[in-house]
Each structure stands twice: as structure tokens, then as C-alpha cells.
Amino acid sequence: MKPVNNNALPQTSAQGLSQHILENYRQLSSSVRQDYLDYLTAKTRDYAKSVSVRCESGTSQGNEMKALLERIYFTLEPYAVELNRVNGSDARILELSVQPPCLTNELADGSTQRRADRTVSYYRCRFSTRLLALVIRGSEDCIDFFLIPTDRVLGLSLIEAQTKPLMSFTFEHAQGWTVEGKELNHDRLERYSLLTLEHLLDRTQEEQSLYQRR
């Protein structure tokens, strides 16, 4: 996750870090067995290819979901940037951090067997304060909006399964994408998305007030 007003590292610092990592790699790799490294490389490449094939074979509906989630992200991201600029250091608790849309592959159940055919893919973006995160998760025919404590978002779908969505955009074959049974046009997409961001900020203030009263 990266703060939306985050500044890039100075070039000299980045170069120094890269050199440090490279030196550590060289020290570690001197004891690596090349034959076993080749074996693991081939094995992981096979898995990566199988994941790539599944992603490329996704339906047009899945592609529409990704495009829709990206529209939501690019609707909200400018507000996060502007709110951070306006609030500055006066409202650190409401400072927003952003994770752009990304694809994750997770186990479909609690099985301990790490099989490629037991995974499910989600497309997510995230807007977070220090206390709460607005997680926007897309699957092929649904985009769910979750409000989750920031320190629990790394639990991904395991945590999301325990949380009732604030709202969902769903794909109906007769209507296309809908929200609350109505067509998801541009105005509704913008209005409903902004309401979830507002809810994130309101709930963060409530949580902070409760904490201060303790």
C-alpha cells in the first residue's frame, strides 16, 4: 500500500539500496546448488504459465468487471489526493492511502493442499485511513465494497468472508451491471462510490472518538 502523496526516494538512496540487495544476493547465491535451482525455476515457471493461461482465458464479462473496478478507482483516487492536500497535518487520522487495482490468486477453501485448480482470482483496490480500509473487490459477476480494520486487510478473502459488504455492484444477464436492482449508469456509479468513501471517513472519525473516550 502506498500513500497517495508519497514522494519518491532520492535516486542516490535507491541506488544504494539496490547495490546492498545485489551484494546480499551474490553472497547467498554462492552456496546455491545450480541443478536444484534449475529444477525449482522450471517448476515455478510451469505454475506461472498455468496461472497466465487461466487469466487469459477469462470471459469478456470478467474483463468488463476489471474495467468497471478501474473506473471506480479512478473516480475516487483524485478525491483522496485532494483530501490529503487540504487536510495536511491537521487531520492525520484521516490521511488516505491507496492501493491501485491488482489481481490476486487465493485458495478457494481452507485446504492445505496448494493445488493450482483450487484457487480463485479477485481484482481489488483499496482506500485506507489509519484505522479502517475501504476494500473494493471484484469477481467475475460482482464488485463488493467492504469496510475492514486496516490491520486486518492482509487476510484478504478470509477476512472479507466474515464481513457483510457495504454495497455490491452485480451483473444481471437481463440488465447488465446493476446496483440495488437499478441500472448502474455513470451517475449512480459516481454517487454510490463516493458514498462509500464518505462512509470510510465518517466511520474513521467515530472509531477515533470512541478510542479517545476510553
- In the chain, what are the domain boundaries? 8-54, 59-213
CB 123 within 8 A of CB 137: yes
Q: What is the mean pLDDT of residues 10-31?
A: 47
**Nearest 5 degrees, angle CA 5-CA 165-CA 208?**
50
Cα distances (angstroms) measured from residue 53 to each of 39, 46, 48, 56, 140: 22, 11, 9, 5, 16
Residue matched to cell numbers 487469459: 56
Q: Is 149 exposed, middle or buried (0-12, 13-18, 19+ CB in 10 A)?
A: middle
CB 106 within 8 A of CB 115: no
pLDDT confidence band for 184 (50 / 70 / 90): very high
From CA 85, how far away is CA 149, in angstroms rounded?
24
CB 182 within 8 A of CB 64: no
Q: pTM for this one?
A: 0.68
pLDDT confidence band for 31 (50 / 70 / 90): low
